[in-house]
Amino acid sequence: MSKSPPLLVLERITKDFPSLSGATPVQILRNVSIKVSDAESLAIIGPSGSGKSTLLNVIGTLDRPTRGSITLEGDDLAKLDEDSLALVRNRKIGFVFQAHHLLPQCSVLENVLLPTLASDLPNRIEDSEPRARRLLDRVGLSARLSHRPGQLSGGERQRVAVVRALINAPKLLLADEPTGALDRASAENLAQLLVELNREEGVALIVVTHSMQLAKRMRRICELTDGDLRELESTEGDKL
Amino acid sequence: MTSWTLAIRSLRFHARSHLGSLLGAAVGSGVLVGALVVGDSVRGSLRAMAISRLGKVELAMASNDRLFRQKLADDIGASLDATTAPVLQILGTATTGDADARANRVHVMGVDQRFWELAGDPPSFSAISPDSVVINRALADQLQTKTGESLLLRVRKPSALSQDAPLSPSEDTLVAVRLNVQAVVSDSEFGRFSLHASQIPPFNAFVALPTLASRAGVTNQANLLLIGPKRGEGNTAITLDSATKALRENWTLADAELKLQELPNGNGAELRSDRVFIDSPASRAAFAADSEARGVLTYFVNEMRIGERTTPYSMVTAMGAPIVPEEMAENEILLNQWLADDLGAKVGDELTMAYYVVGLARALEERRETFRVGGIIPMQGAAADPTLMPDFPGLTDAENCRDWDTGFPIELSQIREKDNAYWEEHRGTPKAFVTLAAGQRLWGNRFGDLTSVRFGDQAVGTDLERQIRDALDPASVGLQFEPVRESALAASSQSQDFGQLFLGFSFFLIIAALMLMALLFQFGIEQRTSEVGVLLALGFKPGKVRLLFLREGAVIGIMGGLLGVFGGTGYARAMLYGLSTVWRDAVGTSALSYHASPATLIIGGVSGAGVAILTIWLALRKQARQPAHQLLSEGPADESPSLSGAGWTKRRTDLISRLCLIAAGGLIVLTGMPEGLAGAETFFFAGTLLLAAGIAQCASILTSLGASGTSAKIAFAHLAVRNATRKRKRSLATIGLLACGSFLVMSIGVFRLESGAGAAKRSSGTGGFALIGEATHPVVQDLNTQSGRDSFGIDSANLAGVEVVPFRVLDGEDASCLNLNRAQKPRLLGVQPELLAKRGAFTFAKVVEEAPLEDRWLLLKSGKQATVVPAIGDQASIQWALGKKVGDTLDYTDEQGNEFKIRIVASVANSILQGSLLIDESAFIERYPSTSGYRMFLMDAPGEKMEIVSKVLSRALRDFGLEIEPAVRRLAAFNAVQNTYLSTFQVLGGLGLLLGSVGLGVVVLRNVLERRSELALLLAVGFGSNALRWCVLSEHGVLLLLGLGVGAVAAFVAVLPAVIAPGAQLPYVSLTLTLALVLLSGIVWTWVAARFALRGKLLDALRNE
Ligand SMILES: Nc1ncnc2c1ncn2[C@@H]1O[C@H](COP(=O)(O)OP(=O)(O)O)[C@@H](O)[C@H]1O
Ligand SMILES: [Mg+2]
């Protein structure tokens, strides 16, 4: 953990939102600091409205913090412009949302390959397609490559979304209540998959979740309450 | 997987939501393609008309008043190995046998078989029989006549001697011929034959050439020569050069109306002209052929007087050797014995001579000149030579002095028995001789200053005729080929571009279609916000996301372009149908046919697609600007600005609104109020400012309403207004589109040209003239004088208070808006500028150099250089029909083949002078001496006598084919063109507005769909669903009313001058109808959209949250 510089460092992150009525902004995150290393796994739990999604958005460069600094692989994200942030999102970060957000018009394989279209490098797609097939095979969807999202079950869709998040071999996988919309069995299934992929692909995983079951499978658990992030003790249960 | 695959997948998936955008793009492109195809069609129709009016004719030589031998056509045809046709073309009038129907400006043409060989399609008859006439469709329609009926044609005998020439006989030059209609020829059978480009068919009457030539007294002569390829051959290379060469090889002096005659007693030979006076190029050629040649000028003098003794009506010859010694002084005269005896003259006596010269308007002026008798010569040898008198028509053949027809008054009582005896014995043997210099000074005129050129003995042996011919350029005596086909095609291809015109008319329609497309496209994309969000989250740059959507838009644009090509041809056909029916005034013909070149379709489709793609790109610029997380969670946010921002926006829009309002008011007050001078343009501009003020005010209101805090009581109406403010920009765009559209459609009517108001004013388009008259045959008498009126047997009482400004006319192309072709050489009018200047007639639009107001007409006299003639024309004609501007020049060729330039020095605004260029009469005469008389007249007449004056004059000058119409009506005919354009614009603009109101429906649909959950909540808390629908309807009705209201108020100010003008006729009905239709359509679409959006289980929307 201390050999190499941590993958992600948040230092005293504060996030304010302008309030609708009053002049004083509402503070959602308050001096949040945390370090995440390569291939680590971390769960963030907390009550609804506590700012978990906001924190994840800030980490995922979808939103900028009001104060504080974020460093990803040693790069200060505050110093990057929007275009560079888009590149960071594309190459180093993968997202899984509560809703799968697959494009209904594209097949499973195409949805997975979508992130490769974001950059203009021509040979990325050729490199990526075998990887996409391998990963889809890995999550048990090799027979569904040309299906449309509409033809899949909720759990299958979410697995496609996970593969899509991993297609560019990111360093960091962010999942915002990934199992929130799934039935128990599918949720269990997906949780297992995330954990395995975290290990196999060597990608650091940050999961926002209500589910203690899922949280417990992560190496670390943090709780967000009233804008403060507090690390609970490490769970060892998943180290087997 | 590429971006294109993604675009195609998306298009297919969202096909239904893209259908609307596709329709919008297709309509936009279709209208664009259609407008261009209308242009093609008008051009193509004009081209087809050009080809049908010229058949296979490539070159033509029209010598008008000059006649050449018909045989010249044979000879040139043989040289060129081409079909040549001699034609005798004379203007005439035609009446039916019972004189019920009448046509003026009939082109009576003597033709033979060769003429028909040049027609596009050979006619059904084999030859015109001697007592028959073949007429074209236009003439048949005008006369309501048909095959087998009889016609009376009246033509003017072509005379070699211009009617304006001194000593021209006044004998009746009109001949009437009664003929039976043998056939009515179609346009393709040469019925439309004409050398001038116009879409309005001429009246043509074809007669057998020998018949017409003999009846007109010009047997074997012609004045038009046509050349085309031999039958069965394609376009053999008949070039202008080869034809000119063939002309030079084959022509004779007779074709220049010259003859070389041996003098009696072997005294050599002389060159004379049928035109009496020898054209100066011809006399120069004669001197070039023989350096010993001598000029002779013989003139008719009224009286010679020494003291109390007089001798009337004698010939006097000005010449040199052998009679007049070289050293004789210019003020000396030699008398023959007879005259000396008659006057009792002796050497040294003072002799006064009286003679006529012809001034302008053929005004005869008697002048006097005093000579000193230098000698008396016996009547023998060279001095007793009757051939010294030229062949004056009306004199030469008269047996008796009393039979003289001189064309001017002769006091028969003055002719004594001895005078008659002299005439009988010596004919026109001159009684006195002066020096050539003196004679030319007194009697030289625009037709020439010699009546004969005499050659010495030694020259006669040689081939004199050849030498003279070689030294003479046929063009200088009016024989010149013109590449008529080439210029006809040029005239049609440079014609008024209806493509651009209709593009302009359809502009608003295109804008509306594109806006609708953009609105629908944006709408479609806003339904896909989460897609945008996920793309952003996946690391697509916003620009890249927009590019992905642009690809979809591009496919829609391209498909729209393709559909537009098909739809556009239909639109073009509809427009052509409109042009040949309700908008017929704009083109003056119903013979427009559909033409579309592949290039036009491609250009139209591509630009349609291009514009659609550009519009979509503009619509996309605002997309993918919000943070991804927001897009993923909620969809697009309201635009309600924050309080402080709203304040600023409101202040800004208020400021704009107020500035525009002040500017509008100031404009009217400052420029107009004091003298009521504010012109239509001022008001239009003020109206535009008001429009801007109105839209800005709406923006301000929307802003302040949107930003006002949650009010305690939510009255229902409040809710509606508040809702309209939620999507401020969307609402504003709707208001703006409707306001601009209704403003344009309503206010454009202000440019409708009214011909009635103020027509009596000198500054108006009629120049203050009451009547305008045009004659088929030239009128040489002055209608302002007693004698002129007497000569037509007009009772002067009827013409009291009538003054006539006569114009000489050189036929050319009609350069008015009534001619769609680009006029190459417009008609020239010769006028005395003083007559217009003293009246202050017409209003000048542009002047090349500032001249004092009252002197502007005198600019016509300003160009003193020999090569540039100043001209004034109508501004619209110059700009549109000629494609020129004030200061530009046009090339003309004068009667003697010399090129000269006409420079447009000024233009008058919107007048009856459309179609022609005016030049100074003396410049006109100098360039076109043999174009005789006056053929156009502007007349001042007291208002109440207009009708009687017009009746009296038309009756008196019926044989001249004089047609008189009120100047106001002529102006109205010109104005009808522009007014029709405006109607077209209004109709198409109205269509655009309708489309715009569909856009309102789309906005409603979007607004409501976005607020389904909110509306569901209202439903849940107890509002009825009818109430909800009303809420939606009234909310958008506000937008509709605001838009139309702002537009209407602004338009009202713009058209205020027209509204308060006396006698104004605004198209209230059509305007009200348009507005009502737009309002209705807007309401219907809003209602449909509200229904559609509120249908289904609203409460489900709530549950889905
Ligand atoms: N764009 C925003 N503007 C204002 N307030 C926001 C915005 N996004 C989130 N919030 C507020 O921040 C708080 C935390 O939201 P969120 O991070 O979504 O919570 P969680 O994911 O923990 O349920 C909420 O009270 C929410 O209302
Ligand atoms: Mg959340």
User: A105: domain CATH number?
Assistant: 3.40.50.300
What separation in Å is there between the alpha carbon of A51 and the centre of ligand 1?
6
Chain A residues closer than 8 Å to B540 by CB:
86, 90, 117-118
What separation in Å is there between the alpha carbon of A98 and the centre of ligand 2?
9
- Give residue B746's identity as a one-letter amino acid code: M
Chain B residues closer than 8 Å to A93 by CB:
539
Domain hosting residue A192, numbered range: 38-64+81-239
pLDDT of residue A161: 93
B420 HSE (CA, 13 A, CB side):
12
pTM: 0.74
Look at B1 and A125 and tell me if their CB atoms are within 8 Å.
yes
**DSSP alpha helices (H): ranges in B295-336?**
none
Beta carbons of B1040 and B999 less than 8 angstroms apart: no
pLDDT (average), residues B150-172: 73
pLDDT (average), residues B397-405: 73
What is the pLDDT confidence band of residue B711, given thresholds at 50, 70 and 90?
very low
pLDDT of residue B359: 65
Cα angle value B638/B644/B648 (rounded, 5°):
95
Chain A residues closer than 8 Å to B6 by CB:
103, 105-106, 110, 114, 117
pLDDT of residue B839: 83
Question: What is the rounded distance in angstroms from the CA atom of residue B530 to the CA atom of residue B183?
Answer: 79
What are the tens digits of pLDDT across the range A63-82?
A: 889 989 999 988 888 888 88
What is the pLDDT confidence band of residue B659, given thresholds at 50, 70 and 90?
confident
Question: What is the rounded distance in angstroms from the CA atom of residue B90 to the CA atom of residue B111?
Answer: 12
State percent of chain B over pLDDT 90: 3
**Number of A–B residue contacts, CB under 8 Å:** 90
Beta carbons of B343 and B337 less than 8 angstroms apart: no
Residues with CB in 5 Å of ion ligand 2: A 53
Chain B residues closer than 8 Å to A80 by CB:
none
pLDDT of residue B636: 45
The phi and psi torsions of B519 (rounded to 5 degrees) equal -60, -45
pLDDT (average), residues B13-32: 87
Percent of residues in chain A assigned helix, strand, coil, to nearest 5: 40, 25, 40
Residue B534 contacts A, CB cutoff 8 Å = yes
Kind plus residue range of the DSSP H or E element containing B358: strand B350-358
Instruction: Find the residue in A nearest to B529 (Cα).
Output: A101
3-state secondary structure of B432: strand
Q: Which tokens is B338 given?
A: 């007879």
A219–chain B nearest CA distance, Å: 26
Look at A60 and B539 and tell me if their CB atoms are within 8 Å.
no
- Identify which of A130-134, B329-333, B354-358, B720-724 has the greatest average pLDDT: A130-134
Residue B547 contacts A, CB cutoff 8 Å = no
B457 HSE (CA, 13 A, CB side):
5
Which atom of ligand 1 approaches the CA of A54 most closely? 17
**DSSP alpha helices (H): ranges in B540-636?**
542-580, 598-620, 628-633
Question: What is the rounded distance in angstroms from the CA atom of residue B929 to the CA atom of residue B809?
Answer: 12
Nearest ligand for residue A49 CA: 1
What is the pLDDT confidence band of residue A1, given thresholds at 50, 70 and 90?
very low
The owner of tokens 């279609």 is B513
Q: Which tokens is B327 given?
A: 């050293």
Which atom of ligand 1 approaches the CA of A176 most closely? 21
Residue B237 contacts A, CB cutoff 8 Å = no
Beta carbons of A60 and A89 less than 8 angstroms apart: yes
B1011–chain A nearest CA distance, Å: 20
Nearest to B539 among A86, A101, A106 (CB): A86
State percent of chain B over pLDDT 70: 86
A111–chain B nearest CA distance, Å: 9
What are the tens digits of pLDDT across the range B733-771?
A: 777 878 888 887 777 766 666 656 666 777 778 888 888
Residues in chain A: 240
Question: What is the rounded distance in angstroms from the CA atom of residue B790 to the CA atom of residue B796?
Answer: 8
Look at B539 and A93 and tell me if their CB atoms are within 8 Å.
yes
Mean pLDDT of chain B: 79
**DSSP alpha helices (H): ranges in B802-898?**
833-837, 875-876
Nearest ligand for residue B631 CA: 1
User: What residues flank ligand 1, with Cβ below 6 Å?
Assistant: A 17, 28, 46, 48-54; B 630
Mutate to test the interface with A, among B532, B551, B629 (most CBs of A within 10 A): B629
Residue B696 contacts A, CB cutoff 8 Å = no
Nearest to B539 among A87, A104, A106 (CB): A87
Residues of chain A numbered 122-181 and touching chain B (CB < 8 Å) = 125, 129, 164, 168
Mutate to test the interface with A, among B11, B541, B551 (most CBs of A within 10 A): B541
Q: Whose CA is nearest to atom 14 of ligand 1?
A: A51
Q: Whose CA is nearest to atom 10 of ligand 1?
A: A17
Q: Which tokens is B123 given?
A: 């006619």
What separation in Å is there between the alpha carbon of B408 and the centre of ligand 1?
111
What are the tens digits of pLDDT across the range B605-618?
A: 999 999 889 988 88
Number of neighbours of residue B1023 by Cβ within 10 angstroms: 16
Question: What is the rounded distance in angstroms from the CA atom of residue A147 to the CA atom of residue A156?
Answer: 11
Residue at A33 is within a domain = no
The residue ranges of DSSP E strands in B63-123, in sequence order, are 68-69, 83-96, 102-111
Residue B641 contacts A, CB cutoff 8 Å = no
A3–chain B nearest CA distance, Å: 30
Q: Which tokens is B1070 given?
A: 């059509």
Does the pLDDT at position B589 exceed 90?
no
Residue B625 contacts A, CB cutoff 8 Å = no
Q: Whose CA is nearest to atom 2 of ligand 1?
A: A17
User: Which has the closest alpha carbon to B152: B134, B177, B180?
Assistant: B177
Between helices B1025-1054 and B680-707, what is the axis angle to 10°?
A: 150
Which residue did the predictor score with more confidence, B1007 or B563?
A: B563
Weakest mean pLDDT among B59-73, B179-193, B576-590, B836-850: B576-590
What is the pLDDT confidence band of residue B207, given thresholds at 50, 70 and 90?
very high
Which residue did the predictor score with more confidence, B660 or B890?
A: B890
Cα angle value B835/B839/B843 (rounded, 5°):
110
Residue B1 contacts A, CB cutoff 8 Å = yes
Does the pLDDT at position B852 exceed 80?
no
Q: Whose CA is nearest to atom 21 of ligand 1?
A: A53
CB contact set of B1069 (below 8 Å; sequence gap of 6+): none
Beta carbons of A220 and A40 less than 8 angstroms apart: yes
Number of neighbours of residue B590 by Cβ within 10 angstroms: 12
Q: Which tokens is A133 given?
A: 């097939």
pLDDT (average), residues B213-227: 88
3-state secondary structure of B278: coil
3-state secondary structure of B297: strand
What is the pLDDT confidence band of residue B853, given thresholds at 50, 70 and 90?
low
pLDDT of residue B639: 45
Mean pLDDT of chain A: 86
State the complex-level ipTM: 0.91
Instruction: Find the residue in A nearest to B628 (Cα).
Output: A62
Nearest to B539 among A53, A115, A125 (CB): A115
What separation in Å is there between the alpha carbon of B708 and the centre of ligand 1?
25
Beta carbons of B45 and B592 less than 8 angstroms apart: yes
- Give residue B876's identity as a one-letter amino acid code: A
Residue at A171 is within a domain = yes
Which residues does residue B303 pair with via DSSP β-bridges, in sequence order?
B312, B354
Nearest to B538 among A105, A109, A114 (CB): A114
Look at B10 and A103 and tell me if their CB atoms are within 8 Å.
yes
Q: How many domains does chain A have?
A: 1
Question: What is the rounded distance in angstroms from the CA atom of residue B840 to the CA atom of residue B843?
Answer: 8
Instruction: Find the residue in A nearest to B12 (Cα).
Output: A105
What separation in Å is there between the alpha carbon of A96 and the centre of ligand 2?
12
Residue B976 contacts A, CB cutoff 8 Å = no
Mutate to test the interface with B, among A57, A61, A87 (most CBs of B within 10 A): A57
A104–chain B nearest CA distance, Å: 8
Mutate to test the interface with B, among A66, A72, A82, A89 (most CBs of B within 10 A): A89
What are the tens digits of pLDDT across the range B874-901?
A: 888 887 777 788 888 888 888 777 888 8
Look at A90 and B538 and tell me if their CB atoms are within 8 Å.
yes
Chain A residues closer than 8 Å to B5 by CB:
110
Q: What are the extents of the domains in chain B?
A: 1-50+498-637, 59-251, 255-477, 641-753+974-1105, 771-973
pLDDT of residue B672: 54
- Identify which of B155-169, B301-315, B1088-1102 has the greatest average pLDDT: B301-315
What separation in Å is there between the alpha carbon of A54 and the centre of ligand 1?
6
